[in-house]
Structure 1
Amino acid sequence: MPGAGLPGSARGIREVYVETFCAPPWDEEPACADAYLERLARDAARPGFTAALARDGDGTVLGFATAWTTERPFPTGRCYPRVAAAVGPDRVEEWLCGGREIDELAVRPRAQGLRLGAALLAAVAEGAPGGRCWLLTSARNPGAVAFYRRRGWRPANAPDPVDTGFVVFLGPDHPALGT
């Protein structure tokens, strides 16, 4: 769905965010969910923005995923400097800029194991330019790391658990995986 369809689902997205990211291993504060909704409203205007929602029969949001096209030059806010340091400036330009960046993926704990996460990931990754799709996750969440690996995503960096503890994953069709 395009970003214009998200405001009507904001309450459900917030609930999923709280249930997912305010629990271990993320342990964010509930106020982060409100900040996420504010950021999501801005992110929806990014080039190539796309989102996917999973709902149950009564319309309750069970999960969501968001993605967009990574800008050129490579952004310098949020976690981008750590991503650039991890994969290197040449690889950032070749592998990430202009590709599809998966920003968030969350599924309510009660709906996990139903393949909703896999469906949401596939929905926002579909049509990635030249197969160039990527995401960032915490190496401290072995469940997330295993989830992406099972779907054919491969690390682009070796995580440093003492320092950043994050992993940059390249999508299963990313051309860099063939090199």
Structure 2
Amino acid sequence: MRMTEMIAVERMDGAVAARAESAFRVVYAEVFAEKPYEETPKSIDANFRRYRSQVREKTFSAALARTADGKPVGIAYGYPLSPSTGWWDRLTTPVDDELRREDGRRTFGLMELAVRAPWRRLGVARRMHEAVLTDTTAERVLLNARPDVEAAQAAYRSWGYRKVGEAHPWEGAVLHDVMVLDLGSGADAAPLHQP
């Protein structure tokens, strides 16, 4: 049995993800303590204060990857952006109104996608990405990615994401690439991931 076959990916709604917060925290704290992120216990606590609010979104979707013995190895989560989202306001160069238009259903904001080091490059991130988007009716997915994390950048590009701008997603943040994956809609929609 291959290592990837021993990893289970569970899709969760907000209520289930809220109960699994400790597993999400284990992965987040380990991954984002690494370079180049170097998050502190204070910033990790701040992230999980936001997480507790985010899981209450009725359209929140998450994925948690675990080993056969239950050890958390990866996380992904997000939800559709509201019409009043500030996401587009943080871009360093404004984009046209049609690109930034939000209606509460158009764009799924992927807030986090992370895999612990021993389980990287095994397809776990891709499986979680697919799981978290399983029931979405969004036309597209939006995320912020650090340009200096080459493995993540390569994965996103291979999945069909394209860069549409750059942003400082929060006060004091380094510059991130803003990336969009077009999901299409209806019967003519392209597959979620290209081979």
TM-score bracket, shorter-length normalisation: 0.7 to 0.9
2:63 aligns with 52
Q: Percent identity?
A: 26
User: Is 1:155 aligned to 2:124, yes or no?
Assistant: no
Cα offset for 1:84?
8.1
Q: Deviations over 1:93-140 (max 9, x none)?
A: 069973111110111111112211111111112343353222111122
Runs of 4+ with deviation above 4 angstroms: 94-97
Whole-angstrom distance in 2 between the partners of 1:38 and 1:166: 22
Cα offset for 1:172?
4.6
Q: How does 1:101-116 map to 2 (within 5 A)?
A: 101-116=109-124
Equivalenced residue count is 171
* Structure-1-length-normalised TM-score: 0.82
User: Is 1:134 aligned to 2:168, yes or no?
Assistant: no
1:167 aligns with 177
Specify which structure has the higher proportion of strand.
Answer: 2
1:18 aligns with 29
* Structure 1: unaligned runs, 5 residues or longer: none
Q: Which amino acid aligns with 1:141?
A: V
* Structure-2-length-normalised TM-score: 0.76
Specify which structure has the higher proportion of helix.
Answer: 1
Answer whether contact 2:13 2:62 (CA < 8 A) is retained.
yes
Matched position secondary structure for 2:82 = coil
Alpha-carbon distance change, 85 to 71 in structure 1, aligned in 2, over 3 angstroms: farther
